[in-house]
Chain A
Amino acid sequence: MLTYTIRRFLLALLTIWAISVLSFAIIQLPPGDYVTAYIAQLASSGVDVTPEFAENLRQQYGLDSPVYVQYLKWMQQISRGNFGRSLEWRVPVLDIIGDRLWLTMAVSVSAVLFTWGLALPIGIYSAVRQYSIADYIFTFIGFIGLAVPSFLLALILMYVGFRYFGANIGGLFSPEYLQADWSLGKLWDLIKHLPLPALILGTAGTAQLIRIMRANLLDELRKPYVITARAKGMSELRLILKYPVRAAMNPFISTLGYLFPFIISGSIIVALVLGLPTIGPLLLRALVAQDMFLAGTIVLFLGILTVLGTFISDILLMWVDPRIRFERRE
Chain B
Amino acid sequence: MADQIARANGQPPMLTVEGLKTYFFTDEGTVRAVDGASFEVQAGKTVGIVGESGCGKSVTALSILRIVERPGRIVAGQILLRRPNAKAPVDLALLEAEGAEIRAIRGGEIALVFQEPMTSFSPHYTIGNQIVETIQLHQDVGKEEARNRTIELLRMVGIPNPERRIDEYPFELSGGLRQRMMIAMALSCNPKILIADEPTTALDVTTQAQILDLLRDIQQRTQMSVIIITHDMGVIAEMTDDVIVMYLGRVVESGPVDEIFHQPKHPYTQALLRSIPSIFAEPRTKLPTIAGSIPHPHNRPTGCPFHPRCAEAMPGICDRHEPRLRPISEAHFASCFLYHEPEAAPPS
CB atoms of A231 and B121 under 8 A apart: no
Of A223, A230, A233, A326, which is within 8 A of B119 by CB? A223
Q: Report B88-130 residues with CB < 8 Å from chain A CB.
A: 98, 103-108, 111-112, 114-116, 119-125
A59 proximal to B (CB < 8 A): no
Question: Taking the nearest CB of chain A, how far is it from the CB of B90, in angstroms?
Answer: 15
Question: Taking the nearest CB of chain A, how far is it from the CB of B126, in angstroms?
Answer: 8
A109 proximal to B (CB < 8 A): no
CB atoms of B122 and A233 under 8 A apart: no
Known contacts A224-B114, A322-B169, A233 near B120 by CB under 8 Å: no
Distance of A324 Cα from B122 Cα, bound (Å)? 14
Known contacts A223-B119, A224-B120, A243-B124, A232 near B133 by CB under 8 Å: yes
A323 proximal to B (CB < 8 A): yes
Q: Write out the residue numbers on chain A whose beta carbons fall within 8 Å of the beta carbon of B169.
A: 322-323, 326
Known contacts A227-B67, A227-B120, A322-B169, A235 near B112 by CB under 8 Å: no
CB atoms of A233 and B105 under 8 A apart: yes
Chain B residue with the shortest CB-CB distance to A226: B122
Q: Write out the residue numbers on chain B whose beta carbons fall within 8 Å of the beta carbon of A231.
A: 65, 67, 106-107, 111-112
| Interface residues on chain B, size class | 20 to 34
Q: Write out the residue numbers on chain B whose beta carbons fall within 8 Å of the beta carbon of A246.
A: 124
A64 proximal to B (CB < 8 A): no
Q: Mark A223-263, 1 if CB is under 8 A from B, else 0.
A: 11101111111111000001100110000000000000000
Known contacts A231-B112, A233-B138, A234-B137, A225 near B119 by CB under 8 Å: yes
Q: Report B53-84 residues with CB < 8 Å from chain A CB.
A: 62, 65, 67
Q: Mark A90-134, 1 if CB is under 8 A from B, else 0.
A: 000000000000000000000000000000000000000000000
A55 proximal to B (CB < 8 A): no
Distance of A53 Cα from B133 Cα, bound (Å)? 79
CB atoms of A230 and B67 under 8 A apart: yes
CB atoms of B122 and A243 under 8 A apart: yes
Known contacts A243-B124, A246-B124, A322-B169, A232 near B119 by CB under 8 Å: no
Distance of A230 Cα from B65 Cα, bound (Å)? 9
Distance of A238 Cα from B182 Cα, bound (Å)? 21
Distance of A242 Cα from B122 Cα, bound (Å)? 10
CB atoms of B121 and A236 under 8 A apart: no
CB atoms of B103 and A233 under 8 A apart: yes
> A residues engaging B (CB < 8 A)?
223-225, 227-236, 242-243, 246-247, 320-323, 326
25 contacts between A and B (CB under 8 A): A224-B114, A224-B115, A224-B116, A224-B120, A225-B119, A227-B62, A227-B67, A227-B120, A228-B112, A228-B120, A229-B122, A231-B65, A231-B112, A232-B185, A233-B103, A233-B106, A233-B108, A235-B103, A236-B98, A246-B124, A247-B122, A247-B123, A321-B124, A323-B169, A323-B171
Given A231-B112, A326-B171, 10 extra CB contacts under 8 A: A227-B114, A227-B120, A228-B112, A231-B65, A232-B107, A233-B104, A233-B137, A322-B123, A323-B169, A323-B171
